[in-house]
Amino acid sequence: MTGKLVVTNFRSMWLRSLNSSWLRCATSALALCAASAVDVAAAPIPVDLSTWTVVQYELFDQPDASWVLSESNTVATQVVNADASILLSDFDLTNSEIVGTWRVDTTTDDDFIGFVFAYQSRCAFYLFDWKKALQDVADVGMSVKVINTCPGDPDDGDLWTTPAPSPGPLLRHNQVPWVSYTDYRFRLLFAAGEFTIAVTRVSDSVVLESWTVQDATYDGGGFGFYNYSQSDVRYAGFTVAPDAACGDNVVDAEAGEECDDGNNVDGDCCTFNCLVETMPGCVDTTTTTTTTTLLETTTTTLEPPTTTTLPVCPNLCGDPAPVFGLITAVDAGAILRASVSLWECPLCVCDVDNGGTVMASDALADLQFAVGLHVGLACPELLIVGSAR
C-alpha cells in the first residue's frame, strides 16, 4: 500500500543550475567576494523533498505513515505512530555526503527514527535506526544494519529486532538513546566499500557517535528518511555535497572550507563540515583574502583564502565528554570506545597514561580517577594529578 505524501508547495526544483557558475564569498570574518565564478558542483546543495516518494511496509495494524512537507520543501515531518516507512530520494548517493538535522517533537513513545542509504529496492539497503528505550527484542540506541531479504519485504524481525553483532546483519550498535525535543545533526559520507556516520547533538556540539564502516554489500543507491512506530519526527535542512573533500586534511577554500583537521567531527576546533569552531581553547586563525591589482589591465585578482588551525586540545585530559564539568564514568566509557576504534579521540584527551595510543588501560585509569582513587592522568602536553571530586 502506498503511504501518504503531503506536499504543500511544488515551486522549488532540486539541484537547479548545477552547470551554472556564481560568485562565492569567503567565510572568514572580513570576507571579500571573488570577481571570478567558481564551479558550484562541490558545494553543499540544499535538498528539495517534493520529488521524494514514500515506501510503506505493512507489518501490523498500525496506520500508514503521513509525511508532511514544509512550504519550502526542505523539512519533512512524519506525524503518525505508523508502520515502518521510508521517504525515499529520487537520486543515488555515491561518493558524496549528505548532512541534516532531525528531532522528535513529542514525549509520546520511544521508537525508531533514522535513515536508509544505498537503497536498491524495498528488500535491499543499509539501515541506520535509533531507539529511545529498550523494548523486548529492540535495544535502546543506534544501529547500522544490512537489510537483505529479497525477494520478500523485510518483516518485523528484520526491522524491529536488534540482531547479534557482525558477522551478520548488525554492523554497528551502541546504547545511546535519543532525547525528545533535542536537535541532532547527522552526516553520512558514502563511497563504495566504506561509509562514515557521525551524530552530533546540536546544542553543545557533543559528538554522540562517529562510525567508519568497511562493508561492500551495496556500492551505492538511494537515500531516505526512516521511521518505525514514532510520531512527530522532523527531518530538516538536508544538503548533499558530491565528492566531498572535508576530512582529507587539505583545506579546500573554493569548497568553502576554513580548516581541515583530517576528521568530520565537532568539538576539536574544526567543525564536522570544516568551518572554524568557536569554543574555549580554540584559536581563530582564519585569514582574509588578499587582493592584487594588475596595473596593465586594472583587473583585480583574489588569492584563495588559506586557513589553518593550530593544534589545540579540545578538552581536558581524561574528559572526552565534558557534560558534567568533571571526570566521570561516562568519560571512561568514551575512552574505552575509542580504544576499540568506535570513535576518534585526541591523544591529548584520551591517552591518559601518555603511552602513545588509546588503550583499555587508559579507560581503567580514568575510571579509577573518577571514583576517587589517587591516580595521575598524564596525557601528552597535559597533566592532572589528584583524586576526582
**Enclosing H/E stretch for 186:** strand 184-191
Give the pLDDT confidence score for residue 238 in this predicted structure: 95
DSSP letter for 80, please. Answer: S
- CA 356/CA 132 separation, integer angstroms: 36
Query: pTM for the complete prediction?
Result: 0.58
Greatest distance between any 2 Cα atoms in the chain: 77
Q: What is the pLDDT of residue 257?
A: 72
pLDDT computed for residue 92 by the predictor? 92
What's the pLDDT at 277?
80
**Cell matching residue 311:** 593544534
**What are the CA-CA distances from residue 345 to residues 45, 313, 318, 337 (Å)?**
30, 10, 10, 9
Segment-wise mean pLDDT, segments of 10 residues, the chain, 389 residues: 38 32 31 33 78 94 95 96 97 91 95 97 97 94 95 92 75 95 95 94 94 94 97 95 68 71 77 76 52 40 48 77 72 87 86 91 89 82 41
**What one-character-per-residue DSSP string does 275-340 give?**
-B--STT---------EEEETTTTEEEEPPP--------SS-TT-SSTTSSS--HHHHHHHHHHHT
What's residue 325's pLDDT? 58
pLDDT at 319: 86
- Return the pLDDT at 243: 55
Query: What confidence score (pLDDT) does residue 298 get?
Result: 43
Q: What angle in degrees, to the nearest 10, is found between the helix axes of 329-339 and 360-370?
A: 180
